[in-house]
Amino acid sequence: MTPEHTALQRPMGAHMPVSGGLHTSLIAGKAIGCTAVQLFTANPRQWQNAPLSGDAVRAFREAQEATGVRFVCAHASYLINLAAANEVLERSRDAFRAELERARQLEIPWVVVHPGAHAGQREDDAMAHLIESLQRILEETDAQHNPVGIALETTAGQGSTLGWRFEQIGAVLQALGKHPRLGACMDTCHIFAAGYDLRDAASYAATMAAFDAHIGIEHLKVIHANDSKKPLGSRVDRHAHIGAGEIGAQGFVPLLQDARLASVPVLLETPEARKMHAINLQRLRCLADGQPLEVQVTVLFFGHYRDYYPAPCVLMVPYGATVRELAEQLAAQDVRLSDLLQYCRFAMDTEYVTPDSALVSDCELAVLPPVSGG
């Protein structure tokens, strides 16, 4: 399968905000080019939420029909811990039952949920609680003919969280007989922070071989595409913009061009949703299509150069381009800028950098001649 076919067939989008109603997530997603949307169906930081109104359900279904968004999934509340050992366990089970019921009403096929945390228990005991929770809830909802699936999300291993090793999620699937309504959600930031490398084709192949061996590629239902602010194996969960983190843009290419995953939806959960989701989504599509990735740089001139360019200059440069290469590009466009490298210092987002520093996407680059001080 060619990269172009992969990008066209796969639903791709982002986790979208729901201010103004659940249906607005689909409308906003469509506006930035999403063919897939993830959302919270209730406040993710509180236990009790009002039932969905008939009007809210109708508006959501009508918006999906109108926008043509092909895939929608819900993300469960952050409070839910199906592996807990105390009073939190029953509250979590009840809250997750409500998540599945809301998804059923909205005709959302999958709910993504974190496996939980042991919070001081023995890890084996926490795993047993998680398995028991899922078994109970699957049996109950099977009896109610609720078709909504549960996608266990890989985690970074921060704190006492479970699910940071593929073996843990695989053990849950195995214990529950690989129930058809149970699957996995793979988050690229999380697995990278957990120690699974993605930065080149060989590393990606090894990581996916491990995923297939312990979980099974056929059980992968959703992909969260996020770069990582923290290094490989850090076990710290901090999402970064695509190409602006430790994984790097090229680390997403094997994933996005893997024909085995061509029908698995890819969803962003990167920071600054309103400003950056459209940009990150375009980056993913470029990488999936095998197109060179460009970064946007805003150049601010100081000193006498401001006489030539009083307003900021917004330029697109190839991903990985350095300050030196940008200065050479500017000199080629305007001979008055031919001495930038000889005389000027450069600051990227207020920090001084060398000419050989790589440009970061959506940065501001200040060009500072000696008379500018600083």
Q: Pick the catalytic residue from 10, 93, 102, 114.
A: 114
Contact at 8 Å (CB) between 24 and 67?
A: no
Q: Pick the catalytic residue from 75, 93, 277, 283.
A: 75
Q: Assess whether 187 carries a catalytic annotation.
A: yes
DSSP string, 10-66: S-EEEE---TT-THHHHHHHHHTT-SEEEE-SS-TT-S--PPPPHHHHHHHHHHHHH
Q: Pick the catalytic residue from 237, 277, 305, 319.
A: 237
Contact at 8 Å (CB) between 329 and 294?
A: no
Q: Assess whether 153 carries a catalytic annotation.
A: yes
Q: Pick the catalytic residue from 129, 190, 241, 283.
A: 190
What token pair was written down for 70?
Answer: 């092909």
Q: Assess whether 224 carries a catalytic annotation.
A: yes
Q: Assess whether 124 carries a catalytic annotation.
A: no
Q: Assess whether 118 carries a catalytic annotation.
A: no
Q: Pick the catalytic residue from 224, 241, 277, 283.
A: 224
Q: Assess whether 23 carries a catalytic annotation.
A: no
Q: Pick the catalytic residue from 10, 93, 165, 239.
A: 239
Q: Assess whether 179 carries a catalytic annotation.
A: no
Contact at 8 Å (CB) between 136 and 176?
A: no
Q: Assess whether 309 carries a catalytic annotation.
A: no
Spatial CB neighbours of 89, under 8 Å, sequence gap ≥ 6: 81, 82, 129, 133
Q: Pick the catalytic residue from 10, 15, 23, 153.
A: 153
Q: Assess whether 101 carries a catalytic annotation.
A: no
Spatial CB neighbours of 224, under 8 Å, sequence gap ≥ 6: 112, 153, 185, 186, 187, 188, 189, 190, 267, 268, 269
Q: Pick the catalytic residue from 165, 269, 277, 283.
A: 269
**Cα→Cα distances 235→74, 149, 209, 224, Å:** 25, 27, 21, 17
Show which residues are catalytic. 45, 75, 78, 114, 153, 187, 190, 224, 237, 239, 269
